[in-house]
Amino acid sequence: MNERAATLKRARGDWNPALYLKFEGERARAARDLLAQIPLQRPALAYDLGCGPGNSTELLHRHFPSTELIGLDTSEAMLAHARKRLPDAHFLRESVDDFRPDHAPDLIFANSVLQFTPDHPDLFARLMSYLPRGGCLAVQMPDSAREAAHALMRMIAVDGPWRTRLMPVVKSRAMIADAQDYYDWLSPHCARLDLWRTTYVYRLDGAQGVVDWFAGSALRPFLNPLTEKEREAFLAAYRREIIKEYAPRADGMILLPYPRLFIVAVR
């Protein structure tokens, strides 16, 4: 099976832990940078929202070895991988929308997940309300919707024969708000609030590397409504546009700029 066919196979259906973890090192860097800024010493209870295959939960465990950890995700495939990876933690199939903790957590960790949830003014106020005084909400969200790689997904979606089915996906791809908005929404609930934006530059193996990067995340909503043949056509069109937009370096690698917004709020 060639690399393109393998990408297509892995991109189907539920979230794919193997495809997501192909770039585990790159994806983990933002989680580590967020974790390093959490001003807690020994939180008793922490939730990892959108825990995926457990890589972020494992980072939390290493940083806070005595903390009770509960990971939440909507993908059973991801949760199965997480349970094997970190058997001492608890993992639940639950969405951010449905998250209502039974006990007040000292830490709510949300690495690269809240961008999928709408109504951020209400969402962030609700998450802060679950924390005790001194508790911390730590958030990292990709701020890449304006980047060319994301714009190309939307362009192909509206230009192809799948336009009718994918138009709702295009319309639902809301960009996250500006840092000033999150400051305004969170500051009434916080004793301390830190916000910063970092642009990472990922070194990926040509156009196929870029396709693989997004096939495990941002491309999924575009691919899921399509037939297998249509997915193949969509990915081929996306690959062609990536080649036009991102010039490979002398060694064939593509450098992908990827901005991320970070928020650490202490109640």
pLDDT of residue 10: 44
pLDDT of residue 44: 98
Whether 49 has a pLDDT exceeding 90, the answer reads yes
Q: Is the pTM of this model over 0.95?
A: no
Report which of 266, 267, 260 is spatially closest to residue 179, judged by C-alpha positions: 260
Q: Tokens 């991102």 identify what position?
A: 246
Mean per-residue pLDDT for 116-131? 96
pLDDT of residue 18: 65
Q: Are 122 and 92 in contact (CB under 8 A)?
A: no
From CA 107, how far away is CA 38, in angstroms rounded? 9
Whether 184 has a pLDDT exceeding 70, the answer reads yes
215-233 per-position pLDDT tens digit: 878 899 999 999 999 999 9
pLDDT of residue 240: 96
**Average pLDDT score, the chain:** 91
Q: What is the CATH number of the domain that holds 7?
A: 3.40.50.150
Q: How far is CA 196 from the centre of its chain?
A: 17
Mean per-residue pLDDT for 5-9? 46
Residue 40 CB-half CA count within 13 A: 30
pLDDT of residue 216: 79
Count structural domains, the chain: 1
- Residue 9: which pLDDT band, with cuts at 50, 70 and 90? very low
Whether 4 has a pLDDT exceeding 80, the answer reads no
pLDDT of residue 23: 78
Q: Are 165 and 226 in contact (CB under 8 A)?
A: yes
pLDDT of residue 103: 93
Tokens of 122: 């209400």
pLDDT of residue 69: 98
61-84 per-position pLDDT tens digit: 999 999 999 999 999 999 999 999
pLDDT of residue 27: 83
The whole domain housing 223 covers 3-266
- Residue 11: which pLDDT band, with cuts at 50, 70 and 90? very low
pLDDT of residue 20: 59
